[in-house]
Chain A
């Protein structure tokens, strides 16, 4: 592993020691899983809507370049200004230039994972612009100077008590309370003042409709609507894969998204943004900008198998159902996108040299694949990336960066032995005789025996027993 590589093992080790954190995640994920199951209790309905959702995403990806052009044309016609960014630096620069033109000092933000990918808040602060998260979870995380630990519920790693302490410590007018309604009310009061005075509102995009030039945004707190309608300028940021072809593609995807994410049949707010304020209209921003970010996505798009990563609608259900994520929490991944989708997306976006360990943060149990609403073959892509990490090639950035001569030799030796019946039977017979003499302190065995007894080789192999019992060979 290179020096820049992110150490998942180390971070997860720290998370595992934190019993409070483990309890918070266990309870939260158990709750989310059972609530989601209720939403999709009708298997036939689930299979139907899932097939439909997957086909919407597949169709969109099958003509992605064409749809993006159409989206740009229709947005432009609607008065939405479209900007293209191939890197997060470019995206940040575009956002900044808009801010500087309108002399913005304060930005309110709706929830946006792409803005996390851009590290937009830190960037804006550096340029003297206050950027305030208005989604309650994001607001909590921002106050705590932390990263989101989940793409839908950014503060899911914290319990009410921890949030109560944080508010008391960071908000001037706060009095200590563990009452959720009072805490929410306090955040609302702080944020309301900011909405009224913000120069710019920033949001993400759940889907962008090519044929109409419409930006869809789902949310529950009304902060998304405030961020996109109250300030005079609205900037939406989206990954280039978020486009869908038609307006009629929206309902099945929203239905899958909200039920998979928060077990809601629909969110409290569904925003369909089609243009800036028109003459005679009483509200809405004067300007809308759409920043479309590539950041490695077109590279992912070029590979037929890896392209499936881009189907994702960011519901977060894969996290909720991942036994590894549930144990270590989102921060261990040190990435805007944690959990299974993060483990396949981050290595492709940031390169395997930095993120090559993430595809191994997985037992390949397929729990994520089973519930993914758009049928992303997450585990197959995980396997593919494991292979890319140890073999030089050009499909993924950093391919071959985790190649180890020793490991390659082990597998080569293994394959030679296991592909030859004679060598295999010789080796296994030898292990049956001598294997148990191996000391538990051997590498690998040592890791295993920390919490487990040593595996015991049987005295005789199945091959030997079958021969003795006269079981026919042909």
Chain B
């Protein structure tokens, strides 16, 4: 992992095909965000492959201290991305696990080189849309005020900070109001939310207050873990603000 907080990755040529790694959270809770992500890629004329054998990057077990179990699940993914295409992930956290932590997780294993090769092809969705596909969106939705929640791992593991906001700013009728503490964690943290429910609640409470202060009608994010936490707290507190994944938001704005 980069400890500098920022990373620039070399440009690659626009590929003919990409793999889509949906992530287990999207699979179960936000499939519409996954479908929207694939749609956005297809709109740009890229062939999207969704390997049906995929499941999870292994992060839940890895962060809980069960590395062998994480390795087993991570290893099971390797077979399904044999082509030399980029692997696009609609989550900074899962992308960070694959590209930054897999090399450590597989260290000294017989398939380390293979895991590194797969990891090196991983892109976070907005990063890929901006840097590789250089998308230009045309907004077709009504005026709306939104805010953006930056996922910790997208920012600090994938070095994705400006890309998602740049995409949102392409939308003419969308007013993006930044949070006061945009970079602060929402308190999800995987098992942290249930291991330390009170601290997590206090953290998401601060996040919700920050969101409310912007007057936004929607909070857009690129990670479904954060979204599940923040939307859950907005709903739980009966706040009239909608939480939505950036892929879905972009698709709604550009495709009716």
Contact sample, A vs B, 20 pairs, CB 8 Å cutoff: A362-B189, A365-B156, A367-B156, A367-B183, A367-B184, A367-B185, A369-B5, A385-B65, A387-B65, A387-B67, A414-B69, A415-B66, A421-B76, A424-B55, A453-B235, A466-B34, A467-B52, A472-B47, A473-B49, A473-B50
Q: At the interface, yes or no: A450 with Cβ under 8 Å from chain B? A: yes
**A-contact 0/1 string along B56-80, CB 8 Å cutoff:** 1010111111111110110110000
A377 to B188, CA, bound (A): 21
The 6 A-B residue pairs with the shortest CB-CB distance, nearest first, are A363-B189, A452-B232, A386-B65, A415-B69, A365-B185, A447-B197
Q: At the interface, yes or no: A449 with Cβ under 8 Å from chain B? A: yes
User: Which residues of chain A are near B34, meaning CB under 8 Å?
Assistant: 462, 465-466
A472 to B235, CA, bound (A): 36
Structural contact, A364 and B29, CB atoms closer than 8 A: no
Restricting to A344-380, which residues have a CB under 8 Å from any CB of B? 360-367, 369-372, 375, 377, 380
A44 to B56, CA, bound (A): 37
Structural contact, A473 and B197, CB atoms closer than 8 A: no
- Tell me, rounded to whole Å, the shortest Cβ–Cβ distance linking A305 to chain B: 9
User: Which residues of chain A are near B64, meaning CB under 8 Å?
Assistant: 386, 407, 411
- Tell me, rounded to whole Å, the shortest Cβ–Cβ distance linking B66 to chain A: 4
A50 to B237, CA, bound (A): 43
Structural contact, B55 and A363, CB atoms closer than 8 A: no
Structural contact, A366 and B152, CB atoms closer than 8 A: yes
User: Which residues of chain B are near A87, meaning CB under 8 Å?
Assistant: none
- A369-B1, A424-B55, A455-B228 known; 18 new pairs, CB 8 Å cut-off, are A9-B195, A26-B206, A324-B203, A360-B196, A362-B189, A366-B5, A366-B156, A380-B104, A411-B66, A414-B73, A415-B72, A421-B52, A452-B233, A465-B34, A466-B35, A471-B48, A472-B50, A474-B49
Q: At the interface, yes or no: B138 with Cβ under 8 Å from chain A? A: no
- Tell me, rounded to whole Å, the shortest Cβ–Cβ distance linking B168 to chain A: 22
Structural contact, A473 and B52, CB atoms closer than 8 A: yes
A386 to B104, CA, bound (A): 15
Q: At the interface, yes or no: B229 with Cβ under 8 Å from chain A? A: yes
- Tell me, rounded to whole Å, the shortest Cβ–Cβ distance linking A19 to chain B: 11
Q: At the interface, yes or no: B194 with Cβ under 8 Å from chain A? A: yes
- Tell me, rounded to whole Å, the shortest Cβ–Cβ distance linking B42 to chain A: 9
Q: At the interface, yes or no: A13 with Cβ under 8 Å from chain B? A: yes
Give the nearest-CB partner of A403 in chain B.
B65
- Tell me, rounded to whole Å, the shortest Cβ–Cβ distance linking A47 to chain B: 7
| Known contacts A12-B198, A386-B63, A387-B65: A367-B28 contact under CB 8 Å | no
- Tell me, rounded to whole Å, the shortest Cβ–Cβ distance linking B87 to chain A: 14
Give the nearest-CB partner of B42 in chain A.
A471
- Tell me, rounded to whole Å, the shortest Cβ–Cβ distance linking B226 to chain A: 10
| Known contacts A12-B196, A361-B196, A366-B157: A458-B30 contact under CB 8 Å | yes
Question: Which of B55, B75, B194, B202 lies in contact with A448, CB distance below 8 A?
Answer: B194
User: Which residues of chain A are near B76, meaning CB under 8 Å?
Assistant: 418-421
Q: At the interface, yes or no: B236 with Cβ under 8 Å from chain A? A: yes
- Tell me, rounded to whole Å, the shortest Cβ–Cβ distance linking A374 to chain B: 10
A448 to B198, CA, bound (A): 10
A461 to B193, CA, bound (A): 24
Structural contact, B152 and A365, CB atoms closer than 8 A: yes
Pick from A416, A458, A469 the residue with the most CB of B within 10 Å: A458
Restricting to B102-142, which residues have a CB under 8 Å from any CB of A? 104
User: Which residues of chain B are near A22, meaning CB under 8 Å?
Assistant: 202
- Tell me, rounded to whole Å, the shortest Cβ–Cβ distance linking A425 to chain B: 8
Interface of B is mostly: helix
A389 to B64, CA, bound (A): 10
Give the nearest-CB partner of B82 in chain A.
A474
Restricting to A265-320, which residues have a CB under 8 Å from any CB of B? none
**B-contact 0/1 string along A454-465, CB 8 Å cutoff:** 111110111111
A428 to B75, CA, bound (A): 19
Give the nearest-CB partner of B224 in chain A.
A455
Query: Interface on A for B, CB 8 Å cutoff?
Result: 9, 12-13, 16, 22, 26, 47, 50, 323-324, 327-328, 360-367, 369-372, 375, 377, 380, 383, 385-391, 407-408, 411-412, 414-416, 418-421, 424-425, 428, 431-432, 435, 444, 447-458, 460-467, 469, 471-474
Q: At the interface, yes or no: B164 with Cβ under 8 Å from chain A? A: no
A385 to B67, CA, bound (A): 11
Q: At the interface, yes or no: B217 with Cβ under 8 Å from chain A? A: no
Restricting to B16-63, which residues have a CB under 8 Å from any CB of A? 20, 22, 24, 26-32, 34-35, 38, 47-56, 58, 60-63
Structural contact, B49 and A415, CB atoms closer than 8 A: no
Pick from A388, A435, A448 the residue with the most CB of B within 10 Å: A448
| Known contacts A450-B201, A472-B49, A473-B50: A377-B1 contact under CB 8 Å | yes
Restricting to B204-231, which residues have a CB under 8 Å from any CB of A? 204-206, 228-229, 231
A390 to B69, CA, bound (A): 13
| Known contacts A370-B5, A421-B55: A412-B69 contact under CB 8 Å | yes
- Tell me, rounded to whole Å, the shortest Cβ–Cβ distance linking B184 to chain A: 5
Structural contact, A13 and B198, CB atoms closer than 8 A: yes
Restricting to B153-190, which residues have a CB under 8 Å from any CB of A? 153, 156-157, 183-185, 187-190
User: Which residues of chain B are near A50, meaning CB under 8 Å?
Assistant: 4
User: Which residues of chain A are near B9, meaning CB under 8 Å?
Assistant: none
Pick from B28, B72, B205, B228 the residue with the most CB of A within 10 Å: B28
A384 to B52, CA, bound (A): 32
Q: At the interface, yes or no: B144 with Cβ under 8 Å from chain A? A: no
- Tell me, rounded to whole Å, the shortest Cβ–Cβ distance linking B159 to chain A: 11
| Known contacts A431-B28, A461-B28, A463-B27: A451-B73 contact under CB 8 Å | no
User: Which residues of chain A are near B184, meaning CB under 8 Å?
Assistant: 323, 367
Give the nearest-CB partner of A458 in chain B.
B31
